[in-house]
Structure 1
Amino acid sequence: MDARKPRLLTGDRPTGPLHLGHLVGTLQSRVKLQDSHECFIIVADLHSLTTRSRRDEIARLPNHVRDVVLDMLSVGVDPSRSTIYLQSGVPAVYDIAILLQMLTPVARLSGLQSIQDMAVNAGLGDADVPLGLLGYPVLQAADILMANAELVPVGADNETHVTLARDIAEHFNDAYGKVFAVPQPTVSATPSLPGVNTVAGGAERKMSKSAGNAIWLKDSPEEVARKVRTLPGPAPGESTGAPLFLFAEAFLRDADELASLRAEYDRGGIGFAAVQDRVIEALEKILVPIRERRAEFAADKHRTEEIIVDGTITARKVAYETLGKVRDAMGLENLWSGLVHATQSRAEERKKPFYHQKS
């Protein structure tokens, strides 16, 4: 019998389609890890409610979920090797999250920069931050620990959340007995990508769905080129750290070519338009097969929905098994079963004939 593969969990919030930042941040790594790991990939629709809970926003979720899954499939996530599932379709995770909340100090959550950034991007003042947003990392920990994931590929902004999940797992295991695997985060060599100047100052911030400064994986070649050309060129000699050259570092696969391009630019031999051209060319080599796979999956009617349902059924089985272990470890299952046993005993007593009670 083959040894069990280590388990991995990662995923995305369905607040819109995925972009190039997702590609270099986690998508490429999760595709590579499919052979060596048992992969659970979450479509985190509950997490989207932390900043998008209006009725009209929830009504857009079906399209967003489909978009996100199509993007995953288009980059090479294989549903025969990865379990793609809908977070809200796994109710046991809610129960696990509530139990983990009891073990997590508020002070540990309120100081997280990622939560503050999400609130700012959603236009929420301090007084308007919902409890669900504050507790976002605990629900994320429940997702990770539900699957007993040992590895969690994340963007740089979520690394602290995996650290919190590690701390919760270790605290739980110490307090109640070994139930959870202790997860380890892994961050891409390109943990974030600058945005494009499709909005004012877009290149000064990381690429983000909510910021409106993204190049979507499903963008046409014309849209990709238009957006890349919004990236200004730095002064000659100042290419290091400039958004345009961060794109070049992320997508030019030949290190010698990248070094040559940078050196030529810095000595004034070429202008920034030539660098933009080279980035666009490199991007198209990556995006053409992605667009083709996306079109194939999109044309297969209801295939995407079938993949999500199949994956969610698998995730539900794993989650309920984990929830049972958590309840056993904490003594909650014994509490409930004791009450049931006492009630059953009382019912049996009531069924006894009168003369047995008198004897």
Structure 2
Amino acid sequence: MQRILTGERTTGNLHIGHYFGSLQSRVALQDEYETFIILADMQVLYDHLEDEKGKAIRDNVYLALLDNLAAGLDPEKTTFFVQSEIPELAELAMFFSFLVSVGRAKRNPTVKAEMEQAGTSYEHMNLGFLCFPVSQAADILLPKANLVPVGEDQIPHIEQTREIARRFNTLFGETFPVPDYLVSDFPRLPGLDGKSKMSKSLNNVINLTDDEETVNRKIKKAYSGEGHALFTYGKLFGVEPDERMGAFKPALAESVNAFLEPIRARRRELEKEPGFLREILDKGRDRVREIGARTLAEVKDRMGMVY
């Protein structure tokens, strides 16, 4: 069976943009592929290094895991693991870093876009920021994933992963699959502000955890001028456009709440057993470390390293 690797930076609760951009595909494909979900806590550090001295990062791992499970991922079919608990990832990323020039790293358009959003420059960004696409390549290739469901903004990272896999295979012999990517029908859901994509940092999201009252309030206040996003949401949730926003918004809110209620219910049940979450992560850590040890042994052997 072929493998999927996907996941997210653990920066808080997931929203409907995550659901339609990736979670929906994960749920649909978990019976067809051996699925690995990475909770990428180390990749949070490039712009959240001092968040409550790491406490928020730790808590957010569990929030992301809960959202994945509540959305329909089955822990019996899917392997969840925390990035910082797999030292083999850092070792593989170091080997890959020798295959990527500084110039190539700087040309990654997603790095450029996130750098601009963060208001920094190459001179002031930390090295981890510049190198995180290489780290992401290690995340994908350590378990030798064949397919990566992603949002549209992540495609440049997958292209860089494909380059790294090809270069390693050319230099040292066939070792890694060259992974494909899968983009959903709604890869870049617009935000409630009508100005940009849905993003937690821009506070323009509907979270999977939002209660009925919160959803109603957010949609009522959502931008509804020229080019607004609400009609896109109408297509997603089966609500026909109406020129009178006063009628459309309540109907949309009702439909969004109907969609979210089963997710909320599953989450409430999962929250009753917090120890179960740690068991899932322990099982995933052990499995990925076992796979990673085999991959690294093969990598070191082909490169002529001691192993």
Tell me if TM exceeds 0.5: yes
Matched, 1:213 2:209: no
Q: Could you give the per-residue CA deviations for residues 35-91 of structure 1, whole angstroms, max 9, x where no partner exists?
A: 000000000001111111126252212211111100001000110000000011000
Task: Give the aligned partner of residue 242 of structure 1.
Answer: 228
Correspondence for 1:302: 275
Describe the superposition over 1:224-277 as per-residue Cα deviations: whole angstroms up to 9, x where unpaired.
Answer: 111112223346xxxxx531111112222xxxxx5xx33xx3xxxx40122212
- Report the Cα distance in structure 2 between the residues aligned to 1:87 and 1:304, rounded to whole angstroms: 16
Letter of the structure 2 residue corresponding to residue 122 of structure 1: A
**Kept in 2: contact 1:47–1:136 (CA 8 A):** yes
Identify which of 237, 246, 249 aligns with 1:251. Answer: 237
**How far apart are 1:194 and its partner, in Å?**
1.2
1:89 is aligned with what amino acid? E
Question: What is the alpha-carbon distance in structure 1 between the residues aligned to residue 202 and residue 229 of structure 2?
Answer: 16
Q: 1:49 aligns with which of 45, 49, 55?
A: 45
Contact 2:51 2:57 in 1 (8 A): no
Residue 276 of structure 1 corresponds to 249
Matches within 5 A, 1:73-222: 73-196=69-192, 202-222=193-213
Supply the distance in 2 between the matched residues of 1:162 and 1:287 (Cα, whole angstroms): 30
In 2 relative to 1, CA 55–272 (structure 1 residues): closer, same or farther, beyond 3 Å? Answer: closer
Whether contact under 8 Å (1:25, 1:187) holds in the other structure is: yes
CA–CA distance in 2 between the matches of 1:330 and 1:44?
27
Alpha carbons 1:121, 1:210 under 8 Å: kept: no
Q: Could you report, residue by residue, the CA deviation over 1:109-135 in whole angstroms, capped at 9, with x for unpaired residues?
A: 212221122223334344321110100
What letter corresponds to residue 251 of structure 1 in structure 2? F
Aligned match of 2:261 in 288, 298, 302? 288
The normalised TM-score by structure 2 is: 0.96
Structure 1 unaligned segments of length 5 or more: list them: 197-201, 236-240, 253-257, 337-359
What TM-score, normalized by structure 1, do the two folds share?
0.82
4+ long deviations beyond 4 Å: none
Matched, 1:314 2:287: yes
Of 215, 219, 224, 1:224 maps to 215
Residues 172-204 of structure 1: per-residue CA shift (max 9 Å, x gap): 1111011101100111100011112xxxxx320
Residue 18 of structure 1 aligns to a residue whose secondary structure is coil
Instruction: Provide the C-alpha distance between the structure 1 equivalents of 2:115 and 2:53, rounded to a whole number of angstroms.
Output: 17
Offset at residue 16 of structure 1 (A): 1.0
Q: Which amino acid is the alignment partner of residue 311 of structure 1?
A: G
Identity of aligned residues (%): 37
Q: 2:36 aligns to what SS in structure 1?
A: strand
